[in-house]
Structure 1
Amino acid sequence: MKKNKRLYWIIGVGLVVILLIILAVNRKNNNNYLRVATEKVQRRDIIETISATGKIQPVKDIKISPYISGEVIEIFVKEGDRVKAGDILVRIDPEIYKSAYEQSEAQLNSQRANLANAKAQLAQLEARFQNAQTVYLRNKALWEKKVISDADFETAKTNYEVAKADLDAIQASIKAAEYSISSANAALKKSREDLTKTAVYAPAEGRVSKLSVEKGERIMGASQFSAGTEIMRIANLDEMQAEVDVNENDIIKVKLGDTALIEVDAYLNRKFKGIVTEVATSATTTGVSIDQVTNFQVKIQLLKSSYLDLIPPDQPDYSPFRPGMSTTAEIQTQRRFNVLAVPIQAVTTRSDTTGKITRRSTKPATESQTEQSENKLPEIIKEYVFVYDNGKARLREVKSGIQDNNYIEIISGLKEGEEVVVAPFSAISRQLKNNEMVEKVEREKLYQTE
């Protein structure tokens, strides 16, 4: 009886030892499994955005330049002042323009006097011509009848021709005087306009956002070859816009009317709403040679309703924004609602999807092999996820759609509720193989060591 009990006891201890060994082996094997974190496929709303940086500027920003050159003798506004259309802004020294006007006026009067004198002479010369013509015609008839001598006829003829030449000359002088009067009138008009333009007026209502000149400074007037000296800017700060640069790879996604969320550095943790109003068709480049960056300017008008709380009730004209403030815009280019989505890092692209590595031949390639390599079609890039299924990571091809900062739309390949591997990224992108055993852990415990 004692022998049987002892036998049972030995067998029991042996079974326990074997069980412990099996558990230890299994534990060791489990510890060798790749640790991964997973997340279920869920339906979400995804908004695809494009990020761009730039500056805040007024929608209407008028550059004021004078039409004439001269010295600034008076400035009637200062930076920040609000002006109305027609308000005087700057006065330029008018002395040389007054002198030019007086000279033009005197020249016009002189030409008018010349014209009057020529017209007075015209009357006398017309009478002389009529008399000479009458005498010439009468003497011609008498000469033809041999009544008067050749000398008398020649005298009458000469007097007629001289009278006609004098009449033609005075008529030409009158036309020249009339042309001179027209020219003098034009010169007088220009000198009058130049004199008027010594005072620069506001073309529209707004606020002086920039004052670029000082009293006593000489400025250049605008011409067909030059824009002239910019003396100030008048902006309508009630309507502001973000002028941002969008990379050439993203510009094709942006269209008029897109919604945008705008962050201004001066207002931390605050986002303002805006609408895309302009998309440039010509690019701008920055940098040189291989470092060149090609961008397209996009203008986004800020919606006043998104910053009304920043305007004091007693200052309805106040603008919380200043031209030149730094800004970052998130342009919402596409939206998808209630679609299947997974974290972006769960989707990978692999050229070696089977997990097998083909060793390259060390032998020199033959001519035919080289030709085949050159004629080989480019590989089609496919997207994959690893689906967690009963302790295994199963590779599955998917088709993706748009994405936001965190999630990507899955058009096909997954069902709602399935679990996909989302971390670590190194495993998803390189290490994991199809049907490989893995150990699922919480993401926060993924990198903890026992």
Structure 2
Amino acid sequence: MKSKKLLTYIAIAAVLLIILLVVGKSQGWFGNEGLVKVAVEKGAERNIVEIITANGKIQPETEVSISPDVSGEIVELMVKEGDEVKKGQYLLKIKPEAYIMARNRAEASLNNARARQKQAESQLEFASLDYKRKSQLYEQNAISEAEFEQSLTNYNTALAEKEAAEFSVQSALATLNEAEESLDKTSIFAPMAGTISRLEVELGERVVGTSMMSGTPLLSIADLNVMEVEVEVNENDIVRVSHGDTALIEVDAYPDTRFLGVVSEIPVSANTTGVTTDQVTNFNVKIRLVPDSYKDKITERNPYPLRPGMSATTDIQTNRKSGVYSIPIQAVTTRVDTTGTVQEREEMRTGQVSSDGSVSSTSELRPAEQTPEEPIVVVFTVSEGKAHLKKVETGIQDNTYIEITEGLDPADEVVVAPYSAISRQLKDGMSVEVVSEENLYSGDKKD
């Protein structure tokens, strides 16, 4: 009896164990500990806009910095920062007394030169008459040759002195004009209509004119009705940027708004910072803001919502395609094809390798070329519980998706997560367990 009961218990335990194994296997409680868990997704047709993101500052498209031509003390200051000015409007005055005295000295010098000119003209007239008279007397042998030659010398000397006096008058006149111009430059007028964007001096401050060095910056006038963003674009991206490209602009002061812009200027030369291996090469690209995109921000109290110096982030749209086959961008990685598996598949697909493994006559690759060491662009697909490495050709991309132009079929299930597995762990032919992306990351949180 006891042996029969024991057999019965063993049979029941065996059945329960089998049931537990079946259920546990189906639920993934055990048996899959060594498998890499991955999430998959099929490619789909999407609209992709390729963008280049760059940061920069807002600035007026037209801004004029004014420095004085003459030095001195500011005795009148008629504007303050933020004032609207018209072209030709009087802005400030530099103390003119020294320049008035210089003008008066130049005027006196001119009068003196003109007086000497008249004196030289009188002397020339006297010398000319004396020369004519002495010439007649010399022809009549009434005077000696020495007297005649002396009158000729006196005439030539008087003529030269008259010419010198004329040049002195011209020089004095130029000095007077220069002094008057310097005096006029003590008054500063607006060269354009706009807003005083920067005022860098105060009443009573001494400034240095540009005739001596670079000059003291006085103020800047800007047209705040036309604004632009100057951004730094990396040298690897600049070749994709073109004049007229659309840009979406986010300004830190308006976090919930995106403004519209157009690429207006692409420089020829780069802006290089740093030295040797640490240097960074960027190009300063200018993007004109479309006024209609921010006109709703203009109010009576805030007529210029976008101000110089505001920080901005731009997304420059360099390319756009509609209805292209694409997959999530994190599914694409690079690998070195050391096994030659991918290359063999490619050669079989293109007819370079026959199905029995022999190379056709059209293939004349050298051994070094049959196993390339350069990275290739690949994705991993999953079928029958195994990962398969596939070489792909890519097109444009945005921040989320990338176009696949060759290498995948619409029915392929592509591994899209986790990225650590895609970039490092997965190998061609490796067994994997497919789970939903939600369960994949929820499992990581529990761990």
Superposed pair shares fold, TM > 0.5: yes
- Show the counterpart of 2:133: 131
Does residue 421 in structure 1 map to residue 406 in structure 2? no
DSSP 3-state at the match of 1:436: coil
CA positional deviation for 1:23? 5.1
Letter in structure 2 aligned against 1:188: L
Looking at structure 2, the residues matched to 415 and 269 of structure 1 have their Cα atoms a distance apart, in angstroms, of 40
Letter in structure 1 aligned against 2:247: A
Deviation digits for residues 394-433 of structure 1, max 9, x if unmatched? 2222111111111111111223353211011121122223
Distance 1:281 1:226, change over 3 A: farther
Unaligned runs of 5+ in 1: 1-6, 140-152, 357-371
- Show the counterpart of 1:72: 74
Does residue 216 in structure 1 map to residue 204 in structure 2? yes
DSSP 3-state at the match of 1:213: coil
- Contact 2:87 / 2:191 at 8 angstroms: preserved in 1? yes
Spell out the pairing of 1:301-340 with structure 2 (5 A cutoff). 301-312=288-299, 314=300, 318-340=303-325
Letter in structure 2 aligned against 1:405: N
- Show the counterpart of 1:412: 406
Looking at structure 2, the residues matched to 428 and 260 of structure 1 have their Cα atoms a distance apart, in angstroms, of 33
Deviation digits for residues 300-357 of structure 1, max 9, x if unmatched? 1111111010012x57x9211111111111111221211011111111211157599x
Unaligned runs of 5+ in 2: 1-6, 342-365
Select 2:247's aligned residue among 260, 264, 278: 260
- Show the counterpart of 2:393: 399
Spell out the pairing of 1:190-205 with structure 2 (5 A cutoff). 190-205=178-193
CA positional deviation for 1:248? 1.7
Distance 1:166 1:419, change over 3 A: same
Distance 1:17 1:93, change over 3 A: closer
DSSP 3-state at the match of 2:379: strand
CA RMSD of aligned residues (A): 2.9
Select 1:58's aligned residue among 57, 60, 64: 60
Distance 1:378 1:203, change over 3 A: farther
Letter in structure 2 aligned against 1:255: S
CA positional deviation for 1:24? 4.6
CA positional deviation for 1:253? 1.7
Does residue 161 in structure 1 map to residue 155 in structure 2? no
Deviation digits for residues 247-276 of structure 1, max 9, x if unmatched? 222222222111111111111122111111
TM-score by length of 1: 0.84
Looking at structure 1, the residues matched to 369 and 20 of structure 2 have their Cα atoms a distance apart, in angstroms, of 60
Looking at structure 2, the residues matched to 20 and 124 of structure 1 have their Cα atoms a distance apart, in angstroms, of 141
Distance 1:377 1:257, change over 3 A: farther
- Contact 1:354 / 1:434 at 8 angstroms: preserved in 2? no
CA positional deviation for 1:20? 4.8
Deviation digits for residues 210-259 of structure 1, max 9, x if unmatched? 00111111111123x73311100000000111111112222222221111
- Show the counterpart of 1:297: 284
Distance 1:226 1:279, change over 3 A: farther
Looking at structure 1, the residues matched to 10 and 179 of structure 2 have their Cα atoms a distance apart, in angstroms, of 127
- Show the counterpart of 2:376: 382
- Contact 2:339 / 2:371 at 8 angstroms: preserved in 1? no
Larger of the two Rg values belongs to structure: 1
Looking at structure 1, the residues matched to 257 and 104 of structure 2 have their Cα atoms a distance apart, in angstroms, of 62
Select 1:431's aligned residue among 414, 422, 425: 425
- Contact 1:51 / 1:330 at 8 angstroms: preserved in 2? yes
- Show the counterpart of 2:213: 226
The more displaced of 209-218 and 11-20 is 11-20
Does residue 95 in structure 1 map to residue 83 in structure 2? no
CA positional deviation for 1:25? 5.6
- What percentage of residue pairs aligned between the two structures are identical? 46
- Contact 1:132 / 1:156 at 8 angstroms: preserved in 2? no
